Chain A
Amino acid sequence: MSFWGATHLVAQREINAQIRGKGLWITFALFVVGLFAAAILPGVFGDDSAPAVATFGPQATRVVAATDLEARAVADLEQAQALVRGGEVDAAVVDDPASTTGIRVIAMTQTPYQVVAALAAPPPVDLLAPDAVSDQVLFLASFAFALVFFIFGMSGVGIAQSVVTEKQTRIVEILVATIPVRALLTGKIAAYSLLVFGQVGALALLAPLALRAGDLGVLLSLIAPALGWFVPFFLLGYVLLASVWAVAGALVSRAEDLSSTTPLVTMLVMIPYLGVTFFQDNDQAMTVLSYVPFSSAVAMPVRMFAGEPQLWEPIVSLAILAATLVVAVLVAARLYTGSLLQTGARVRLRRAWSGAENPMA
């Protein structure tokens, strides 16, 4: 059988095993629930309706009419106070010639900031060179990218578990005697990558539904352009992580020992997430992060979204990521080969490297 034939069989088995397991579906279900919750719940629980105020006097009536406060005109001051005391309105706005603004706000126990804010008329602003997207939308987009990359990156621990299961049950000896080690590694990485891409694809299809359900459709049109760059970076970035996860699994012999190798990989997954979250306002740091493999998967799409870089920049960054990926897969294949048949608590990297004497690799 050819290398690709073996790879295909291995990938097929991994995908079948995952699809039949519960873990994959639980994670995916949580994702879908989280997506819809994030889109809909703020609208449901948020104090959507504007506060109601009682108004008395021509000046007060005019000022309130210019806001989106819900106005209830009353005949005199006593009546306004009665409505406030009775809790029928949040506050009363009445004429007061002594005040510089000509009006006065009456409330029960606390200053009604929402009403006060509504009454304060901000001066008009002219932007000579406005940002392509608002800071809030930029934050939201980068946070969403970082979170998706982080969670799916962490799910790569499944690859490490699959590798160590084969080591622990010793079926690996039959597998290695039958097919090339590289086919085993490639099949695993391919299987988990396809599963993750499938989930991300499904989430991408569900996102518009969720945003519309939450009446946030406008966000979608803002974030959509950034997705175009996120996709290739995510694909390469994920495969890079997957190969590292596979090595993390191959270096130990029992599932219980995985904790001795996974923290390093976890760090690699966290760097883009934390980096982009912390340095979002630091242009220099973001530029560096957008070229460093692992973090570039999130940082570059975010910068593209903000409209900063030239077109060649993401292409160079993608090329760096792709080159790193090739090197990483070659190194991973060698370490994987060298450590697959070694037993013991933890295979040292040097031993794994020199242990790759397998003639088939």
Chain B
Amino acid sequence: MLQVRSISRSFQGNKVLDDLSFHAAPGRITGFVGANGSGKTTTMRIILGVLAADAGTVTWHGVPITQQVRQRFGYMPEERGLYPKMKVAEQIVYLGRLHGLDLATARHNTAALLERLELIDRADDPVERLSMGNQQRVQICAALVHEPDLLILDEPFSGLDPLAIETVLGVLRAQAARGVPVLFSSHQLELVERLCDDLVIISGGTTAASGDRKSLRARFSTPRFELVVDGDAGWVRDVPGVEVSELDGARVVFDLPESEAESEQAQRVLQEAVRRGPVRSFGAVVPSLAEIFREVI
């Protein structure tokens, strides 16, 4: 379990992180979401020891992180980096060994990863000769070669084509299935929504919301329904206790803000609709992550 407690960090008097706290649990994929410049990369760098926090602690299984522990972490920085002239396999083996693997294990893991990410044919090519998408895959291999105890990825999907995105999604899920905490940042909210179990929303350098995805949704959603009828749905505006948020001819989206018994209220709207004519569809609307995001920051 990775625990970040009350970390703060300023750069030249500019406070980037202010009392930020969250955790990443084993076997779960935690999405780290925030606007540009909200402090995601700084937080990740602090966890990796690349930067120091001005205040607060980062612990791993309750203990402050040492060099030995950190060496077992896997990290994919936002600004990708590999030796351009070094061969693909050789480079991954080298990074694996820096992470503490012996040569045989490093070679074995490298071969397995290259096979899995469909790069085995390019093993002996210098990295600079690969396409950007393939370089990105090599970068993922570099973060995974030592079978890390914790995986931290900064914007792992940026610059990936849809096919590569699916591959990376699969790899991250497999890592979480191994029981490893996976923390990744992204501004592609649909991907975060598809992938993550837990969510940390950072805004202005502090935690705006965190928790598992479903409970966050429940917390930030007002009961909202969508109704499509044959005729005009304008009458819904006049039902007591209903607040229409969108009305487009036959389609209406409405909230039940003060309703204690929301489903009864909703049923009453539906009965009224059926009484007036055919109903094409009716259902609860679950807010998207983007909507939650807009709401909390």
Which residues does A use to contact B, with CB under 8 Å?
1, 6, 9-10, 13, 17, 165-166, 169-180, 341, 357-360
Contact = CB atoms under 8 A, between A and B. Distances in A.
A173 B154 CA distance: 12
Contacts of A169: 81-84
A156 B98 CA distance: 25
Contact of B95 (A17, A178, A359, A360): A178
A1 B71 contact: yes
B15 interface: no
Contacts of B52: 357-359
Interface in B61-87: 67, 70-71, 73, 75, 77, 79-86
A17 B87 CA distance: 11
B99 interface: yes
A173 B81 contact: yes
Binding site secondary structure of chain B:
loop
Contacts of A1: 71, 98-100
Contacts of B82: 169, 171
The interface residues of chain A, by DSSP majority, are classed as helix
A177 B75 contact: yes
B68 to A, nearest CB: 8
Contacts of B50: 173, 176-177, 341, 358
A359 B75 CA distance: 18
A13 B95 CA distance: 11
B83 A171 contact: yes
B46 to A, nearest CB: 10
A177 B70 CA distance: 7
Contacts of B81: 166, 169-174
B8 to A, nearest CB: 14
A198 to B, nearest CB: 22
Interface of B: 45, 48-52, 67, 70-71, 73, 75, 77, 79-86, 94-95, 97-100, 142
B136 to A, nearest CB: 13
Contacts of A177: 45, 48-50, 70, 73, 75, 77
A178 B97 CA distance: 10
8 contacts: A166-B83, A170-B79, A171-B83, A173-B75, A175-B98, A178-B75, A178-B98, A341-B51
Contacts of A179: 71, 98
A115 B84 CA distance: 66
A359 B45 CA distance: 12
Contacts of A360: 49, 67
Given A17-B86, A180-B67, A173 B77 contact: yes
Given A170-B77, A171-B83, A178-B95, 5 more contacts: A9-B98, A165-B83, A170-B80, A171-B81, A177-B49
Contacts of A359: 49, 52
Q: Which 9 A-B pairs have the closest CB atoms?
A: A170-B81, A171-B81, A177-B48, A170-B79, A173-B77, A1-B100, A169-B81, A359-B52, A357-B52
B69 to A, nearest CB: 12
Contacts of A17: 83, 85-86
A107 B203 CA distance: 99
Nearest to B146: A178
A174 B85 CA distance: 17
B77 to A, nearest CB: 4
A89 B98 CA distance: 76
Contacts of A13: 94
Contacts of B100: 1
A174 B75 contact: yes
Given A341-B50, A360-B67, A174 B142 contact: yes
A174 B76 CA distance: 7
Nearest to A167: B81
A166 B79 CA distance: 12
Contacts of B85: 17
A120 to B, nearest CB: 65
A13 B83 CA distance: 11
A193 to B, nearest CB: 21
Nearest to B154: A173
A17 B126 CA distance: 12
A180 B70 CA distance: 11
Nearest to B97: A9
A173 B67 contact: no
A176 B73 CA distance: 12
Contacts of A180: 67
Contacts of B49: 177, 358-360
Nearest to B127: A169
Nearest to B95: A174
Nearest to A10: B98
Nearest to A173: B77
A123 B67 CA distance: 78
A179 B49 CA distance: 10
Contacts of B80: 170
A165 B71 CA distance: 23
A9 to B, nearest CB: 6
B88 to A, nearest CB: 14
A360 B99 CA distance: 15
Nearest to A16: B90
Contacts of A174: 75, 77, 81, 95, 142
A9 B77 contact: no
Contacts of A6: 98
Nearest to A357: B52
Contacts of B142: 174
Contacts of B94: 9, 13
Contacts of B51: 341, 357-358
A17 B85 CA distance: 9
